[in-house]
Structure 1
Amino acid sequence: MNKSFSLCYCVFFFLFFFSMFNFFVMIYFIMNNMIIFMEWELVSFNSMSIVFSILLDWMSLMFMVFVSLISSSVIYYSKSYMSSEMNLNRFIILVLLFIMSMIMLIISPNIISILLGWDGLGLVSYCLVIYYQNLKSYNAGMLTALSNRIGDVFILMVISWMMNYGSWNYIFYLNFMYNDYCMSMVSLMIIIAAMTKSAQIPFSSWLPAAMAAPTPVSALVHSSTLVTAGVYLLIRFNMLLINTFFLKILLVMSGLTMFMAGISANYEFDLKKIIALSTLSQLGLMMSILSMGLSDMAFYHLLTHAMFKALLFMCAGVIIHMLNDNQDIRFMGGLSLYIPLTSLCMNISNLALCGIPFLAGFYSKDLILEMVMMSNLNLMIFYLYYMSTGLTMFYTIRLMMYLMVNDYNLLCIYNLYDEDYVMLKSMFMLLFMSVIVGSFLMWMIFSYPYMIYLSLNLKLMVFYVSFLGMILGYLVSNMKINSLNKFMNTYDLSLFMCMMWFMPNLSTYGVSYYFLNFGQKMIKNLDMGWSELYSGQGMVKIVKNYSIINSYIQLNNLKIYLFSFIMWMMFIFFLLLIN
């Protein structure tokens, strides 16, 4: 155990100082408007050269700061959360591989090295999702790996299409090749790959299933690594995608993802799944603003969201730990009386998710929604944005009511305490960032302020929908009000919403059931049926029957021998009579 703890501390200090170093380098890059592009030639054979390239600009450095800071907090948190784990070293190394894959993806200007990071994320995420090794986690791991595999295949196809240009360093020709037919094909494949990794409809079902992983892994996956890889890829390729038809389809799909996740979260009672669905909703928001061409704003929301979402998962992990691994929010309640510091972190991260003014989420969400109102979009997209914002408030207030305000609702008394200082220290680091990071990034990313002119009602529209969502969340979580609860819990409606519009069924049973059923019938009727009857088993049966008769005759039975002797004598006598 001591070796594991020392590895924990080493990895934590390394990632933390790496984050700080990157932070100062990033400040220098922003002040001097610098970009560094490095390239090493690994193999040169005839006219073919295999190179390894690195792109360092303010965006990749800033993302690395956030990834390493959140990762250091998560690893420090894991020291306590996974303390009873026998193979803690293995867990830390897997998480480190996961972080390295993400950093590889961030600094790559080359589609092949992007594939290495992209595939590394998919492979290590599978290992982490099946970490607890039971049937549920195996199923979730296969769903996660196979959904992400679709994106890997599309990246491979992008590599083959880019052979037309003689180089896989896409940054060199994005600006002036976007009218080319090959580039339009590449853009379609990049969008589909990003949709699989960032779990947009119809690839959404793997994201809540990935909750089978340990909670520190969930905090890492849902904040700054796996699910944000698709968004980051689209940000890098944004120059290529502007004004393509595929972005309009992405806008509708991401808007529907945002809406569907918001509704499903209101019908869910599993604490981790509610937070996972809130991630899905925020990913829909990032993808939709990206498909409107505002890549810097999507990046801004990605970074602010990373901080409070990691904190939210860490708080959920503490609560699940303290309640004896119970995740159902109906058995919780009144936690703020027993674990005040964890409740403080939970509430602030929840409010940041809602977009309460002057917390991290407010700056990015408010800016995005106001830019949506300034844009030339139809009413459907407008309603999807604002209803999803209201639904975010709805499920957040519902969660807070169930956890903090409602009566203490446990089946029996558990040992509730708030003294795990290792977890609390890692959470307080992210709590500080969740409060200040919105305004801080606003100064860093945008060199000039967006000027937004709106009428008073449109300006206050965000507050209207948030207030409405808050009231509905209170009413639904308050057990005394039955009429709304009865409507919310009608069986067919709640089943449809809980199952994410039946998407898990469609992407698992819908894809595999008929093939498996057909295969079973083929095995039963052909392999174990006709082909057995007329080949192997049939021939064996005939030979076996003959051999049984033969062996019966040859059993040295005296009566049979006497009988056969008499038969032979009678036969010979009969022949003699004829002659």
Structure 2
Amino acid sequence: MLFNSICSISFGSLFLFSISLFYLSLLCLFNNLVYFIEWDILTLNSCSLLMTFLFDWMSLLFMSFVLLISSLVIYYSKDYMHSDFNINRFILLILMFVLSMMLLIISPNLISILLGWDGLGLVSYCLVIYFQNIKSYNAGMLTALSNRIGDVAFLIAIAWMLNYGSWSYIFYIEYMKYDYEMNLIGCLMILAAMTKSAQMPFSSWLPAAMAAPTPVSALVHSSTLVTAGVYLLIRFNILFVDTYMSSFLLIISGLTMFMAGCGANFEFDLKKIIALSTLSQLGLMISILAMGLPNLAFFHLLTHALFKALLFMCAGSIIHNMKNSQDIRLMGGLVLSMPVTSMCLSVSKLSLCGMPFLVGFYSKDLILDMVSMSYINLFSFFLYFFSTGLTVCYSMRMVYYSLTGDFNSSSLHSLNDESWIMLKSMAGLLITVIIGGGVLSWLMFPIPNMICLEPLLKFLILMVCFMGGLIGYYVPKIFIVMNNLMMYKLSYYLGSMWYMPYISTIGINYIPLYLGLKAMKNFDYGWSEYFGGQLLYFSLKNYSMLMQVLQNNSLKTYFMGFILWVILLVGFIHN
């Protein structure tokens, strides 16, 4: 009963806040308003502790989307996690997660951003290890250690900002672009965003974080943790546009997009396929940022949040009915047993592929049009379009394995669409996926962009999507042949994210930890301890014991001392 009340209160409150913030974001957008609020928390002598908040259309709109998705995720968890004894702890963790994201979004100050940034990292670790087993612990440690690299970069940026006398970057960011020394802050922000948004070579933690419960994945992979790095780069975009940093970011994000698309085509875990899809879309957002189009990247950030949350909710419903089985080879024919879930999954997958007039179409089509009009090299152009084809390919492959054909699991099953709580959560997102693209497009880009392309270049987008869909749906046996026969090593290389999990676990995490253990044993617990603290301790102990013996008023002790003194005196006189 208590759990139902907590879920209902959380869902209702977050949903009402979401609607209110959406209305305020429209006011700021239409009237071109920005509110900068400083809260003087404490003043002591001449020192004041200030908390600053920035409310503009971007932060308010993003907060509205985060609260909408988190409210539906909490309502969805009411049924998905109903058998968990610690469900109240789970809801509170999600609320802390959302609060950290809110703090990060509205902060124009590096210190308060760090509070939200580290709050996301800490709570995400607690959520990844929520199901307490070895796999979850390993995934949580990999997630935490990978993100600590970016956290250290953030701390160095905070120290470097002292050169300006304040941590409110919003006052100095225009000047920082022309200050060559302060380009270091742009590099550090890029490193921090690369770890949080899992760009190469920090990509391996994102699929590993699938050890968390599915409602958490729906929240994390749509609008909170992984998008924090993208949002940070949107705010700092002016620092690295048209510099060597933007070229570096473009190639890294393009390779991440390509690598994730290849990996998803060789993956059989339902949640990991969707996680690699998130990784591919993050690469797309950051590559558009590197080309100097922050509003377009933010547009795709919002549209991606809607259809990816719906996609994870559908996957969670399927996994829940399959008794926690995530292997798509054991599924099949789900469209007959779970028609409503299959419909929502198909709509979200079509939106991911860029089906016209769904939410993903408005951003992805515009992105590829802008790429076609931009002055980028042939390699980056190839990565954009080939990765788009791979997206459609793994989407159709997943549909082939899970929704169509015959059911491949046990004949004794209870697949159904009777969970009304889950269906209502998915229905709320389904409406936004269908109508949200047009609404957002009209709000953010009221003046249409003039895009002038050759017919072949415009049809290239459709051809790439069409060919990717054909390959993914009709030729999945090619991947089976590659997995089992003559191209096993190539398929293993592509399917294992270019060996990045091994590099991350052994190269980035294991080796430094092992070296740290050896250094601690040999120095802190070894020679340093023997000649340092322990030597001082034993010396003081022995001298104090000697003094204790000398002060015991023993006649024999004084007599022996007297004889020793006489011998030393005679020897001195004799010499």
TM-score, reference length from structure 1: 0.88
- Secondary structure in 2 matching 1:508: helix
Task: Read off the aligned partner of 2:244 and give its amino acid letter.
Answer: F
Task: Read off the aligned partner of 1:458 and give its amino acid letter.
Answer: L
- Residues 143-171 of structure 1: CA distance to partner in whole angstroms, max 9, x if unpaired? 11111111111111111111111111111
Structure 1 residue 517, shift from structure 2 partner: 5.7
- Residues 301-320 of structure 1: CA distance to partner in whole angstroms, max 9, x if unpaired? 00000000000000000000
2:96 aligned residue: 97
1:344 aligned residue: 343
Distance 1:164 1:529 in 2: 41
> 1:51 aligned to 2:56?
no
Distance 1:367 1:49 in 2: 47
Task: Read off the aligned partner of 1:486 and give its amino acid letter.
Answer: V
> 1:506 aligned to 2:503?
yes
2:193 aligned residue: 194
Flag the 1:460–1:325 CA change in 2: closer, same or farther, 3 A.
same
Larger Rg: 1
Structure 1 residue 41, shift from structure 2 partner: 1.6
Flag the 1:443–1:516 CA change in 2: closer, same or farther, 3 A.
closer
1:486 aligned residue: 481
Structure 1 residue 55, shift from structure 2 partner: 0.5
- Residues 62-115 of structure 1: CA distance to partner in whole angstroms, max 9, x if unpaired? 001100000000000000000001011100000000000001001111111100
Q: Aligned ranges for residues 428-577 of structure 1 at < 5 Å?
A: 428-477=427-476, 481=477, 485-487=480-482, 489=484, 490-515=487-512
Structure 1 residue 264, shift from structure 2 partner: 0.1
Distance 2:42 2:190 in 1: 31
Q: Aligned ranges for residues 202-213 of structure 1 at < 5 Å?
A: 202-213=201-212
Distance 1:112 1:525 in 2: 37
- Secondary structure in 2 matching 1:413: coil
Distance 1:395 1:354 in 2: 10
2:19 aligned residue: 20
Unaligned stretches of 5+ residues in structure 2 = 529-533, 535-575
Flag the 1:390–1:312 CA change in 2: closer, same or farther, 3 A.
same
Task: Read off the aligned partner of 2:67 and give its amino acid letter.
Answer: S
> 1:407 aligned to 2:406?
yes
Distance 2:42 2:378 in 1: 54
2:306 aligned residue: 307
Structure 1 residue 522, shift from structure 2 partner: 8.1
Task: Read off the aligned partner of 1:151 and give its amino acid letter.
Answer: G
Structure 1 residue 324, shift from structure 2 partner: 0.8
Distance 2:76 2:132 in 1: 22
1:554 aligned residue: none
2:547 aligned residue: none
Task: Read off the aligned partner of 2:15 and give its amino acid letter.
Answer: F
- Secondary structure in 1 matching 2:61: helix
Structure 1 residue 484, shift from structure 2 partner: 5.8
CA contact (8 A) 1:66 1:224 kept: yes
2:60 aligned residue: 61
Distance 1:525 1:27 in 2: 62
Distance 1:111 1:180 in 2: 19
CA contact (8 A) 2:145 2:509 kept: no
Q: Name the % identity.
A: 60
2:294 aligned residue: 295
Distance 1:320 1:271 in 2: 9
Flag the 1:515–1:241 CA change in 2: closer, same or farther, 3 A.
closer
1:555 aligned residue: none
Distance 1:31 1:266 in 2: 43
Task: Read off the aligned partner of 2:201 and give its amino acid letter.
Answer: P
Structure 1 residue 44, shift from structure 2 partner: 2.8
Task: Read off the aligned partner of 1:99 and give its amino acid letter.
Answer: V
Flag the 1:404–1:234 CA change in 2: closer, same or farther, 3 A.
same
- Residues 315-362 of structure 1: CA distance to partner in whole angstroms, max 9, x if unpaired? 000000101110000000000001100101000001000001110101
Flag the 1:457–1:516 CA change in 2: closer, same or farther, 3 A.
same
Q: Aligned ranges for residues 202-281 of structure 1 at < 5 Å?
A: 202-281=201-280
> 1:124 aligned to 2:142?
no
2:155 aligned residue: 156
Unaligned stretches of 5+ residues in structure 1 = 537-579
Structure 1 residue 447, shift from structure 2 partner: 3.5
> 1:183 aligned to 2:182?
yes
- Secondary structure in 1 matching 2:324: coil
Report the more deviating stretch, 168-177 or 53-62.
168-177
Report the more deviating stretch, 244-253 or 267-276.
244-253
TM-score, reference length from structure 2: 0.89
Task: Read off the aligned partner of 2:420 and give its amino acid letter.
Answer: Y
